[in-house]
Amino acid sequence: MIDQIKTKAKELLKTKKVDIVIGYKKASDRIGAIPAFIDKEGDIDKLIWDGYCVYNLSNYLKDFPGKKIGIVTKGCDAKSMTVLLQENQLKREDIFIIGIECSGIVDEKRKGGDIAYDERCKGCKPATPPIYDVLIKEEEKKQAPRLEQDPYESVRKLETKSIEEKFKFWQDEFSRCIRCYACRQICPLCYCPRCVAEQTQPAWFSKAVSVEGNFSWNVNRAMHLAGRCIDCGECERACPAGIPLRDINKKIEKDVKELFSYEAGVDTEQKPLFSSFDKNDPEDFIK
Amino acid sequence: MKIGVFVCHCGTNIAGTVDVERVSQAASKFPKVKHSASYKYMCSNPGQNLVKDAIKKHKLDRIVIASCSPSLHEKTFRKCVEAAGINPYLIEMANIREHCSWVHKDREKATQKAIELTRLAVSKVSRNKPLEKTYTTIEKKVLIIGGGISGIQAAIDIAFANYPAVIVEREPSIGGRMARFDKTFPTLDCAACILTPKMVTVSQSEHVTMHTYSEIEEVSGFVGNFTVKIRKKARSVDINKCTGCGACYNKCPVKVPSEFDMGLGKRKAIYTPFPQAVPNVPVIDRENCLYFKTKKCGICKKICTVGAIDYDMKDEVIEEKFGAIIVATGFNQFDHSVYGEYGYGKHKDMITGLHFERMVNSSGPTGGKIIRPSDGKEVRDVVFIQCVGSRDEQKGLPYCSRLCCMYTAKHALLLREHNKDSQAYVFYIDIRAAGKNYEEFVKKVQDEYGAIYLRGRVSRIFEKGGKLIVRGADTLSGAQIEIKADLVVLATGLVAQKDAPSLAQMLHIPYDKNNLFTEAHPKLAPVETITSGIFLTGACQSPKDIPDTVATASAASVKALGLMVQDKLAREPLIASVNQDLCSGCLACLKACPFSAIEEDEIEDRKLRRKRTVAKVREAVCTGCGNCTAVCRMAAIDLEGFTNTQIMEEVETL
Amino acid sequence: MKYAYFPGCSLHSTAKEYDLSTKEVARALGIELIEIPDWICCGATPAHITMHLLSLALPVKNLLKAKEMDSFEVVTCCAACFSRLKIANHFMQNDNKHRKNVEEIVGEPYKGEVKVRHFLDVLINVFGLKNLTERVTNKLSGLKVACYYGCLLTRPPEITQLDDLEEPHLMDDLMKVLDAEPVKWPYKTECCGASFSLTKTDIVLKLSGDILQMAHDEGAQAIVVACPLCQSNLDLRQAAIKKKYKKDFNIPILYFTQLVGLSLGIEPKKLGLDKHIVNPLPLLKERKVLVDK
Amino acid sequence: MSEWEPKIVGFLCNWCSYAGADLAGTSRLEYPPNIRIIRLPCSGRVNPLFILKCLSNGADGVLISGCHIGDCHYSEGNFYARRRFAVLKKLLEYLGIDPRRFQMSWVSASEGDKWARLVTELVEEIKQAGPNKDFVRKND
């Protein structure tokens, strides 16, 4: 199947349909995969495809303004492109999506070991990208059976805790936050020209590493991704402090699904969650 | 920055619970406050003069008034400081009366709270910016959607003031529902006699343009500057050539049920809906026309001496600009086929009030004879049922349709006038005859025209022996009643036009759960909508009889003319604005704006060295609700008067 | 097709022929009806006008018995039983307060999970009219009938969810399949006076008399019913009506199951056609719809 | 040391809730003095970050109050607010912030009595929740 990707990439570059192809290449450790930016036909052989291709490449689309881009895209990553299209950040005609019907990626923490599905792949059922220009399927043998697992298992576990326990839990987790904003930088949907975290007029919340500053930043990040996050999991992967950010993202994902039947990244024509409403939205929390 | 704080005693209203002097002293120590004072009545002339003098004496540049609710005196003090040379938007009010002295009894706590409220206002005002009112130009032309009595009246009023009006009517002729009526309550003048002169006036007015057989396709823009696309459907008859001689429809071989006559009569495939139609130019109904169906016939074209028939005519979409829009789209009838007890609308001799109007009309399909549609026999016993659909939350409408009581009484009267031997029975829930000479009219029908009024609901109607057996309860006598009727007339309720929601969406005006357009305020702004420059008249807003319809038409016209006479339109500056450098162009704000007051704009990004899309506020449309600011993740859009900085400053001061 | 069968008190007494004909028809069509063992009162009139809670607890008890049989669908023929069982389910599904009370009384949790069907519904919507057409061996051609549904079968519509509230047609559809002629008449859901059948018989005579008159006027030779109370009022009171109003209708009142039975070729006696007050046999003979045996 | 009194911030829409609070005043309906009202044009104006700022700035409770559904002066603002804060409310609770600290209500211009009752109850609830210690910016 890597041949299929290469063939397509070659064709795209040759016919000048795109200026650049974004895909994956081997990292220097010879195991992992890192993004590859190919603009010469000669470099096409660097392209790889395996379970280590974890990066959500859509994050790099904005780095090539005015260029036509071909991009290797997993199912989840294509959803973030759907949101980017929804939010006017991309032009569909500028990108050529080489969609991969992915059968799961490895858990990076177990690098070098056996291929095991990453936590976020469990419960991901339609691995087919919602949008693509060409679809390449993984080989039959790699299509290991997907676990029928509740994607919200760990959210539910946390929900049952008492208020004090919850606060304690998150306080501990957030206490490690060093406000490096790696979670933001890696997120394909955090594209604001100037993040509120860096604004001073007004200063929206404390920039200091403190309980309330860290809480505020993380609540802000989560709220800004409400109805947008497609759970590519890059934030959690990038977090040097190992904060379980996906547990926050999934919580909102679950809530908006339950409250408003809203799902992110499935339809480019969909209105943003907070820029729309239903007259019958629940309001049992309002006095 | 030199802030002045002025604390009002409001007689004892504030001073009775709050130690005003202490508030004033405390305020004098707040950062940036250069002067503070208190006075018995700050809103009085001496009070205002005290503020003005202090501004001059202490060179104050921002003012806080700690007194009553801003809803009472914000305007007063804006004017006051403006007179003293300060921008009117550089004041804030601390509400220490309604929100403090009147709701607390503990003097100490109330005083403390008053101090804090004043502190909040001081912190906010320190972040205020001078603002200027904005101005827009006005297109001096009014669009009227709907050519019924409502739209006609509006057009006449606008034209009388020498401003141009354009009527868009989807039927081939103006006239609307009223053109179908026979006589009108309570005076019984004939509808045609009072309507047709108005139709002629409109058609002859140099200020009025009519687009009949036309529909609104698209509306954009805002008050003073609406751009409207109008689809002129292909009439197949050249309106400029046609003389209205009528030869074409006289000779046309195709007969179909006439919509105007509610299917009681026939019309041709080329037709004018009724003889007094304006314009008196026929239209070809292409679905039924032989030429369009089979390419044969063509009689009308052959017979037309002026060559007005044009089979190749196409729909035409024109674009016009308007300063104001009057919506006069009227109503539809409730569909009574939901009622099983009335036979699901299957009984032939059961008609609606509008059918009755056509039947009783001497120029109508039966020549004024009231007959049974099933066998054409003249009727004797007629049962009228009121509130069909109206006041029925279960199967119909929650509201009262307001005119059925009156038109049913009129029908009962006309029935007896047309046939001395007839008998009217009227089933009603309540008689709602609130209008000038209305109650008297109903009484007259009961007393002089022998209509029998029965207070109760009809439980079942069925056919037996060629008659309709109407069974119901007379709740006044407690008896079960059965009437063998020749004809049953249903006073079906008034409902919104089927496509009312799509028009409302086009116009960005709200509509309620019954699809009726919503006025800006039910009492104080009954013909306005929340979208400025768009006004409502007639039954599209709620069921209305002719007097009310005409009154609202004139009211809406005055509102529209109020815009027409202005040179420029002043707008409050408390609206949103975009910092385009911060804007990512995600357009979350555009999608969340209830007023479509945000549009796309393009800027040259200096950093990226390319053009990119950003949001831009259409100042004339923005109402200042601030919803956009809350959905903007990058805080690139802000609301003047309630800016993020102001609010965060207030919170910071807590 | 296997159902728990709830006959109710009428079908074991005054409406024996309804019970008989239902079982015969079911057997002939291969619909298995297993009577709920130890069934008790459905909670109709005597209960529901005196004690609301009892009128829910009784049917729930019966439905729980059906649940024990591992049968999640109950079939009944009596319109009153149908109504009570359906209403009980409705409350248990939608009203937490009542459900708690009733669960306390019957000592078991129950959320309205046992489905309740009228036999008419089973015949038409489960077995299907098309299938039935193929089984009809003895057409009832020329027999003019008025289908009378009464008050309980369709009301309240949000609970019964069986047929059109004002203009029901299920039995009419069924009769057409048997080649009988259902007349068009307006009294399909008029009140027969059943609630007063023992206390104020003069009201019953008036109301039932009106129904008979209308059926007669519209040319019906027989009235078809789906409720034992309707049947007994219309059948039993014809003599008294004759006495009071001097009107001799002599219209047989038949259960739809009896006519379906006839059309399937089942002999009249097995269908209890000999158990009526107004003897239907002369009419059926005259119309040549009796099976010769 | 005096008894602790909770500090509550109320974000009120100008057209309904602010006017309702005015009416409570005009009707002289007494309620505890713990609330500080910030007037906004519409509940739709409230940015979730305002709530965080209040809580980290020492507020023991935050209230958003707007027009009842269907009454919004801007016709739809409260619909957006309702959706936005349904999500925030659940998130804050999930992160361990006492749900009593952030509440929302609809109060119309004619509901002075509801306003007075609401504030009274709110103050009572926040008193039970105790001072907001965990989340507050420490004075540096």
Please check whether residue B413 is in contact with residue B359, taking contact to mean a CB–CB distance below 8 angstroms.
no
- Helix, strand, coil percent content, chain B, rounded in steps of 5: 30, 25, 45
For residue D26, the chain B residues in CB contact (below 8 A) are 98, 102
Residue B81 pLDDT: 94
Question: Residue B340 and residue C186: Cβ atoms within 8 Å?
Answer: no
Q: State whether A272 and B610 contact (CB < 8 Å).
A: no
* Residue B199 or B222, more confident: B199
Contact B582 A195 (CB under 8 A): no
Looking at residue C46, what is its pLDDT?
74
Contacts of residue B116, Cβ cutoff 8 Å, sequence gap at least 6: D36
- Looking at the fold, whether B489 and B358 belong to one and the same domain comes out as yes
B466 and B340, same structural domain?
A: yes
Half-sphere exposure of A266 (CA within 13 A, CB side): 8
- Lowest-pLDDT range, A203-207, B81-85, B233-237, C82-86? A203-207
d(CA B634, nearest CA chain A) in Å: 6
Residue of C164, C186, C217 with shortest CB distance to B460: C186
Residue B226: CATH number of its domain: 3.50.50.60
- The answer to whether chain D touches chain A by having 3 or more C-beta pairs less than 8 angstroms apart is yes
What is the Cα–Cα distance from B320 to C107, expressed in whole angstroms?
75
Which residue of chain A is at minimal alpha-carbon distance from D56?
A: A212
Distance CA C68, CA C36 (A): 10
Using a CB-CB cut-off of 8 Å, the residues of chain D touching A164 are: 96
D57 contacts B651? CB cut-off 8 A:
yes
pLDDT score of A143: 47
CATH of the domain at B303: 3.30.70
- Which CB contacts under 8 angstroms, 24+ apart, belong to B372-378? B372/B348, B372/B486, B372/B487, B373/B264, B373/B348, B373/B349, B374/B348, B374/B349, B375/B466, B377/B486, B378/B419
Cβ contact (<8 Å) for A65 and B592? no
Q: Are B340 and C167 in contact (CB < 8 Å)?
A: yes
Model confidence at A121: pLDDT above 80: no
Rounded to the nearest 5 degrees, what angle is found at the Cα of B601, between the Cα atoms of B595 and B607? 135
pLDDT recorded at residue B506: 87
Span of B14-28, B119-133, B392-406, B609-623 with lowest mean pLDDT: B609-623
- Which segments within B393-515 are labelled E, that is strand? 423-428, 452-455, 458-464, 467-474, 479-485, 487-492, 494-496
Mean pLDDT of D94-120: 93
Q: DSSP letter at D121?
A: H
Sign of CA dihedral B166, B172, B177, B181: positive
Picking from D56, D94, D99, the nearest residue to A251 by CB comes out as: D94
Do the strands A33-38 and A95-101 form a parallel or antiparallel pair, or are they unpaired?
A: unpaired
Closest Cα in chain C, distance from residue B344 (Å): 9
Which of A163, A173, A228, A251 should be substituted to probe chain D, the one whose Cβ sees the most D Cβ atoms within 10 Å? Answer: A163
**Residues of chain A positioned with their CB less than 8 A from the CB of B589:** 275
| Contact yes or no for B64/B55 (Cβ under 8 A) | no
Q: For residue B223, name the pLDDT band (cuts at 50, 70, 90).
A: confident
Number of domains in chain B: 5
A-chain residue closest to D91, CA distance: A252
With CB atoms and an 8 Å threshold, state whether A202 touches B587.
Answer: no
pLDDT of residue A116: 54
> With 60 as the cut, is the pLDDT of residue B590 above it?
yes
Cβ-defined contact of B464 to C186 (cutoff 8 Å): yes
Query: What's the mean pLDDT when you consider all of chain B?
Result: 94
Judged by CB atoms closer than 8 Å, whether chains meet at D41 and B625 is answered as yes
Contact B103 D25 (CB under 8 A): yes
What are the tens digits of pLDDT across the range A149-178?
678 888 999 999 999 999 999 999 999 998
**A142: pLDDT strictly greater than 60:** no
Q: Which of chain D's residues have a Cβ under 8 Å away from the Cβ of A211?
A: 134-135, 138
CATH code of the region C128-286: 3.40.50.11810
Chain B positions touching A273 (Cβ under 8 A) are none
Question: What stretch(es) of chain C map to CATH 1.20.1050.140?
Answer: 2-118
Instruction: Judge: A212–D88 Cβ closer than 8 Å, yes or no.
Output: no
pLDDT at C267 over 50: yes
What residue of D is the nearest CA neighbor of B635?
D47
Per-residue pLDDT, averaged over C211-233, amounts to 94
CA distance C56 to C88: 5
Please spell the DSSP secondary structure of chain C, one letter per residue. -EEEEE-HHHHTTTTHHHHHHHHHHHHHHT-EEEEPTT-----THHHHTT-HHHHHHHHHHHHHHHHHTT--EEEE--HHHHHHHHHHHHHHHH-HHHHHHHHHHHTS---S-SEEEEHHHIIIIIIIHHHHHHH--S--TT-EEEEE-TTTTT-SHHHH-SS-SSS--HHHHHHHHTT-EEPP-S-TT----GGGTTT-HHHHHHHHHHHHHHHHHTT-SEEEES-HHHHHHHHHTHHHHHHHH-------EEEHHHHHHHHTT--GGGGTTTS-SS--HHHHHHTT-SPP-
> Are B433 and B363 within one domain?
yes
Q: What is the pLDDT of residues B409-427, one digit of tens each?
A: 999 999 999 999 999 999 9
Which of B283, B313, B343 terminates a domain? The answer is: B313
- Residue with the larger pLDDT of the pair A117 and A256: A256
Which residues in chain D are closer than 8 Å to A252, comparing Cβ atoms?
Answer: 87, 91
Name the closest residue on chain A to residue B593, using Cα atoms. Answer: A275
> Quick one: pLDDT band at residue A141, thresholds 50, 70, 90?
very low
Say how many CB pairs under 8 Å bridge B and C: 19
Mean pLDDT score of chain A, rounded to an integer? Answer: 86
Looking at residue A94, what DSSP letter applies? G
Do B103 and B177 sit in the same domain of this protein? no
CB contact under 8 A, D50 and B69: no
Q: How confident is the model at residue A139 (pLDDT cuts 50, 70, 90)?
A: low
The pLDDT value recorded for residue A110 is: 56
CB of C217 within 8 Å of a chain B CB? The answer is yes
- Kindly report, as residue ranges, where domains of CATH 3.40.50.11810 are found in chain C: 128-286
With bands split at pLDDT 50, 70 and 90, how would you rate the model's confidence at C27? very high
For every residue of A187-208, which 3-state class applies, written as one string?
Answer: CCCCCCCCCHHHCCCCCCCCCC
**Residue B603, both tokens:** 């800027």
Give the closest-approach CA distance of B522 to chain A in angstroms.
21
Question: Residue with structure tokens 């959500």?
Answer: A56
Q: Do A287 and D80 touch (CB under 8 A)?
A: no
Least CB-CB distance to D21: which of B99, B647, B650? B99
Whether chains D and C touch (3+ CB pairs under 8 A) is answered by no
Say if residue B112 is in the same domain as residue B244: no
Is A166 in CB contact (< 8 Å) with chain D? Answer: yes
pLDDT attached to residue C122: 95
Q: Measured between CB atoms, which of B97, B104, B627 is closest to D42?
A: B627
- Confidence (pLDDT) at C290: 76
Which chain B residue shows the shortest CA-CA distance from A204?
B648
Verify whether the Cβ–Cβ distance B464 to C167 is below 8 Å. Answer: no
Kindly state whether residues B598 and B525 are assigned to the same domain: no
Say yes or no: B344 contacts chain C, CB-CB below 8 A.
Answer: yes
> Could you report the per-residue pLDDT of B298-315, keeping only the tens digit for each?
999 999 999 999 999 999
Residue B443 has pLDDT above 60, yes or no: yes
Q: What is the mean pLDDT of residues A84-105?
A: 89
For residues B174 and B276, give the distance between their C-alpha atoms in angstroms, rounded to a whole number.
10
Residue A274: which of B587, B592, B645 has the nearest Cβ?
Answer: B592
Question: What pairing do the DSSP bridges indicate for beta strands B62-67 and B3-8?
Answer: parallel
Residues B90 and B115 in one domain: yes
Task: Name the more confident of B274 and B220.
Answer: B274
Peptide bond into C182 cis (omega under 30): no
Cα–Cα dist A27/B564, whole Å: 71
Query: pLDDT of A224-264, one tens digit each?
Result: 999 999 988 889 888 988 899 999 999 999 999 999 999 99
Tell me whether residues B629 and D45 touch, CB distance under 8 A: yes
% of chain B residues with pLDDT over 70: 100
Range of the domain at B518: 134-233+315-330+497-568
For A159, the closest of D49, D94, D138 (CB atoms) is: D94
Residue B625 contacts A where some CB pair is shorter than 8 Å: no
In this predicted model, which residue has the larger pLDDT, B344 or C31?
C31
| pLDDT per position as a tens digit, A263-272 | 998 888 889 9
CB pairs under 8 A between A and D: 121
**Angstrom distances, CA of residue B486 to CA of B365, C97, C104, D13, D111:** 19, 51, 58, 60, 54
Read off the CATH number of the domain in which B598 is found: 3.30.70.20
Segment holding D9, helix H or strand E: strand D8-13
D86-115 residues touching B, CB cutoff 8 A? none
When pLDDT is cut at 50, 70 and 90, the band that residue B455 belongs to is very high
What is the distance between the alpha carbons of residues D98 and D135, in angstroms, rounded to a whole number? 11
Chain B residues with beta carbon closer than 8 angstroms to that of C165: 340
- Using 50, 70 and 90 to split pLDDT, how confident is the model at C197? confident
Query: Does residue A204 contact residue A188 with C-beta atoms inside 8 Å?
Result: no
Helix (H, G, I), strand (E, B) or coil at A37: strand
Residue B50's closest CA among B29, B41, B68, B89?
B41
pLDDT band for position C291 (cuts 50, 70, 90): low
| D91·A171 Cβ contact <8 A | no
Q: Which residue has the higher pLDDT, A1 or B126?
A: B126
Q: A204: pLDDT confidence band, cut at 50, 70 and 90?
A: very high
Determine whether the interchain pair A66/B610 forms a contact, defined as Cβ–Cβ distance below 8 Å. Answer: yes
pLDDT, position D140: 43
Fold of C2-118: Glutathione S-transferase Yfyf (Class Pi); Chain A, domain 2 (1.20.1050)
Domain architecture of chain D: domains with CATH: 8-129 (3.40.50.960)
pTM here? 0.69
Query: Which residues of D are less than 8 Å from A275 in CB distance?
Result: 80
Bond before C46 cis per omega within 30 degrees:
no
Quick check: C45 pLDDT over 80? no
Helix, strand or coil for residue A237?
helix
Domain end point (choices B99, B125, B151): B125
Q: Does C166 touch chain B (CB under 8 A)?
A: yes
The C-alpha atoms of residue C199 and residue D36 are separated, in whole angstroms, by 70
In sign, the C-alpha dihedral spanning B162, B168, B174, B178 is negative
Of the candidates B301, B279, B303, B281, the one whose C-alpha atom is nearest the C-alpha of residue B289 is B301
Q: How far is A125 from chain B (nearest CA, A)?
A: 29
Q: Are residues B453 and B422 in the same domain?
A: yes
Identity at B71, one-letter amino acid code: S
Distance CA B118, CA C164 (A): 68
Distance from CA of A88 to the nearest CA of B (A): 5
- Best probe of the B interface among A61, A67, A189, A194, by most B CBs < 10 A, is A194
CB atoms inside a 10 Å sphere around CB C289: 21
- How many Cα atoms within 13 Å fall on the side-chain side of residue B180? 20
What 3-state class would DSSP assign to B205? coil
